[in-house]
Amino acid sequence: MIFITAKFRVKPEHADRWPEITGEFTEATRAEPGCLWFDWSRSLDDPAEYVLVEAFRDDAAGAAHVQSPHFEQARRDLPQYLVETPRIVNTTVPQDDWSELGEMAVKD
């Protein structure tokens, strides 16, 4: 799978509305056949920073995502709400779902 984590520094005046601002983009991406997950989290240390954790089935699914109309719309719309260009980590991982964190296993 293609595993991506991106940090978005949102202008403070838009930070509380970021989930609403990205709502259509998020829902459209989650509906893509190759999208495994697309989840936003808000930083505990900086309320204007959001982290996006996303995964796509394979290279073809990742390519389809960045060529989609909703991705193009997000490229046009979202930068106006940002302080800086988002930072990203993008890698290929030989799995297709989350693995368990064995060091913190929950006993039955």
Q: Of 101, 8, 97, whose CA–CA distance to 55 is shortest?
A: 97
Cβ pair 50, 38 in contact under 8 A: no
pLDDT of amino acid 22: 98
What's the pTM value of the predicted model, to 2 decimals?
Answer: 0.93
Beta strand spans in the chain (E): 2-9, 35-42, 49-56, 87-92
In sequence order, which ranges of the chain are alpha helices (DSSP H)?
18-21, 23-30, 59-66, 69-77
- Please state the separation of Cα 15 from the chain's center in Å: 16
- 87-92/2-9 β-pairing: antiparallel
Give residue-wise pLDDT tens across range 33-84.
Answer: 999 999 999 999 999 999 999 999 999 999 999 999 999 999 999 999 999 9
